[in-house]
Each structure stands twice: as structure tokens, then as C-alpha cells.
């Protein structure tokens, strides 16, 4: 059995397109339990910190600008094997390469406006969840 929790956020393109409800329904229909959720908007400084791992990438500035440009919905999700199963449900980073039936295939429009984030490891799920949620906000 793998991880028990993962972190996700519905990105500005999907929130502004009115796809949040459909995406959350898909997530729940695939057996994930929403442990914490809120609607918020990152400042450029906060987005820069969240994506610090990509600081040297050519797309970093665009990514920070994009991710701070509108509301997002971060969530902590519970399920057995959460990290791996959620990465399968969202599909490839580039929607052109995402498998049929995945969230990105259905809702993403480009590699930057790709609808949703999913943590790539247990360690990052914890770090990313802690970035957005205090202990008080987490449901046990």
C-alpha cells in the first residue's frame, strides 16, 4: 500500500472556466476524500516560493505570473496510494499527451493552463499541503 494523502490545486484556468465543480466530482468519484479545501489567490511572492524548485527553468516567470493571476482551489486528498493514483487521474503535464478520461485531457488547454496540480511524491505532498493549510484546517 502506498501513500495515504496527496496535495492538489485546481489552477486559475479551470476555476475561471467554471470547471471546479466537475473536477471535484471526478476526484470524489475516483475514491479520493477531500480532507481540506479552500479558495484563495497567491501573491507573486507566494507563487514564486511554491514553485521555487523550478526557479532556473525558462518558464518560471510565466508560471509565477500565471499561478498568481486568479483564484485557485488547493486541497488535501486522502486515499490509499494517493500520490500515484492521483497522478494517473490528472494525466500528463502537457494536455496534448494526456490519456483519454484524465482531468487534464478533459479540462486543460495548454502546458501552462493545465487545470490542476498533483504532488509528485509523498515528501512533496506534505511540503505542499503545509504551504497552504495549518494543522487547524486539516481534518483528521
> Which residues are marked as active site?
117
Number of residues interacting with ligand CMP: please give it, by CB under 6 A.
Answer: 7
CA distance linking residue 107 with residue 69, whole number of Å: 18
Q: Taking each helix axis as running N to C, give the angle between helix 20-29 and helix 82-90, from 0 to 180 degrees, rounded to the nearest 10.
A: 130
The b/e string for 70-91 (b: 16+ C-beta within 10 A; e otherwise) is eebbbbbbbbeebbbbbbebbb
CA distance linking residue 2 with residue 71, whole number of Å: 31
- CB closer to ligand CMP out of 106 and 111: 111
Q: Which of 53, 66, 60, 88 is nearest to 15 (CA)?
A: 66
Least Å from the CB of residue 27 to ligand CMP: 15
Helix (H) or strand (E) holding 124: helix 122-132
Least Å from the CB of residue 117 to ligand CMP: 4
- The 117-136 site mask, x for binding ligand CMP (CB under 6 A), equals x-------------------
Of the candidate residues 114, 115, 128, 132, the single one contacting ligand CMP (CB under 6 A): 114
Least Å from the CB of residue 33 to ligand CMP: 21
Positions in 50-109 near ligand CMP (CB under 6 A) = 59, 63, 93
User: Rule CB under 6 A: which residues touch ligand CMP?
Assistant: 59, 63, 93, 111-112, 114, 117
Amino acid at each position: 500500500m502506498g501513500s495515504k494523502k496527496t496535495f492538489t490545486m485546481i489552477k486559475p484556468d479551470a476555476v475561471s472556466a467554471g470547471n471546479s465543480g466537475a473536477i471535484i466530482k471526478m476526484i470524489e468519484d475516483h475514491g479520493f476524500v477531500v480532507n481540506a479545501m479552500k479558495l484563495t489567490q497567491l501573491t507573486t511572492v507566494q507563487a514564486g516560493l511554491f514553485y521555487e524548485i523550478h526557479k532556473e527553468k525558462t518558464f518560471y516567470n510565466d508560471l509565477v505570473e500565471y499561478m498568481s493571476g486568479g483564484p485557485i482551489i488547493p486541497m488535501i486528498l486522502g486515499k490509499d496510494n494517493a500520490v500515484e493514483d492521483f497522478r494517473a487521474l490528472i494525466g500528463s503535464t502537457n494536455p496534448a499527451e494526456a490519456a483519454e478520461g484524465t482531468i487534464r485531457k478533459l479540462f486543460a488547454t495548454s502546458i501552462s493552463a493545465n487545470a490542476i496540480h498533483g504532488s509528485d511524491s509523498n515528501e512533496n505532498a506534505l511540503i505542499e499541503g503545509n504551504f497552504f493549510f495549518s494543522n487547524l484546517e486539516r481534518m483528521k
